[in-house]
Amino acid sequence: CGKDDGPMPEDEFLVIAHRGASAYVPENTLASYELAKDLDSDYIELDIHLTKDGELVVMHDQDVESTMNASGKISEFTLDELKKLSKTSRYKDDKGMAAKGHAEMYAVPALREVFDQFGDRMNFIIELKNPEDYPGIEEKLMELLEAADMIGADGDGHPKAVIQSFSEEGLEKIHALNPKIPLLRLISFEDGEEAQLTAEEIEKLQTYAAGIGVSYEALTEPFISYMQQEGLVVYAYTVNDQETALTMKNLGANGIHTDRPDILEK
Ligand code: G3P
Ligand code: CA
């Protein structure tokens, strides 16, 4: 069952750097992960897709418009093409850093490069984006996690790699490949709706997941504590102001996804 498979810490409040320290440098870049590390984030969250040449690559959107001067889907480009495009356009959202000579750090990273650079010093929450559009992505991810020695716990007992997704099917495939990897199911609720799950939905989650990720607006104290009693940790996304971060902590959430991993420091 999910909760025994590689426990997420139940008694710590995790600060998860959402797409890296993405409030300060372009999201999902080596630069944003470096800053997330410097700001002592507990985990780095990132989003993965498959390129035309079968590389696991880190970007949020499935198409390239929002981050490059180009159009089309990630799956229509090779990793090299994406790297050239992202370096020359230096990310539309460059926040002034590319001009200071850091463009190399902004090239779209392959997931293996992220693990090469950070695997021995950071832990990751890896989001499978649109896995239904990338047949075989689950197997590729598992192969890479094994090759990069990212399966299992770090010296503090925290899982080095956790996988999350809105796709139940994608998570179930991962669970079938290796039931020891902690999985988080992302669940969205309608605007203004409080989080709630039926007993049947919770039972289903318990067959493969260690916990859930829910938009902070939907979270309530009774819901969080009910999930925890059922053995499921609860992370709130995406919290970018300190007051809300403290509210989530007080409600008993197990952590927050934030673009500002220094959110609790001031
Ligand atoms: O970590 C939760 C969050 O990442 C899900 O939303 O769109 O930022 O990937 P999104
Ligand atoms: Ca994400």
* Each residue's pLDDT tens digit, 159-170: 999 999 999 999
Q: Say what the pLDDT of residue 94 is.
A: 54
List of E strands, 176-249 = 183-187, 211-215, 233-237
Protein residue with its CA nearest to atom 3 in ligand 1: 237
Q: Which atom of ligand 1 is nearest to the CA of 213?
A: 2
Which of 97-101, 107-111, 169-173 is modeled with the greatest confidence?
A: 169-173
The answer to whether 187 and 218 are in contact (CB under 8 A) is no
Q: What is the mean pLDDT of residues 66-79?
A: 91
* Each residue's pLDDT tens digit, 3-38: 434 578 888 999 999 999 999 888 999 989 999 999
Q: Say what the pLDDT of residue 106 is.
A: 78
Of 68, 73, 143, 76, which is closest to residue 111 (Cα–Cα)?
143
Is the C-beta atom of 223 inside 6 A of ligand 1?
Answer: no
Of 55, 107, 110, which is closest to residue 86 (Cα–Cα)?
107
Q: Which atom of ligand 1 is nearest to the CA of 125?
A: 1
* Each residue's pLDDT tens digit, 32-68: 999 999 999 999 999 999 999 999 999 999 999 887 8
pLDDT level of residue 88 (50, 70, 90 thresholds): low
- Within a 13 Å sphere around the CA of 150, how many CA atoms are in the beta-carbon half? 26
Q: Which atom of ligand 1 is nearest to the CA of 237?
A: 2
Q: Say what the pLDDT of residue 11 is.
A: 87
State what percent of residues in the chain have pLDDT above 90.
81
**How far does Cα 171 stand from its chain's mean position?**
13
Tell whether the model's pLDDT for residue 2 goes beyond 70. no
Please confirm, yes or no, whether 60 is among the known catalytic residues.
yes
pLDDT level of residue 105 (50, 70, 90 thresholds): confident
What is the DSSP pairing of strand 56-58 with strand 14-18?
unpaired
Reported ipTM = 0.97
Given 18, 49, 102, 158, the catalytic residue = 18
Is the C-beta atom of 106 inside 6 A of ligand 1?
Answer: no
Ordered by start, the domain boundaries in the chain are 2-48+123-258
Taking all residues of the chain, what is their mean pLDDT, rounded to a whole number? 91
Bridge partners of 256? 15, 236
Prediction pTM value: 0.93
String of DSSP letters for 5-18: SSPPPSSS-EEEEE
Please confirm, yes or no, whether 257 is among the known catalytic residues.
no
Class of 2-48+123-258 in CATH: alpha beta
What is the DSSP pairing of strand 211-215 with strand 14-18?
unpaired
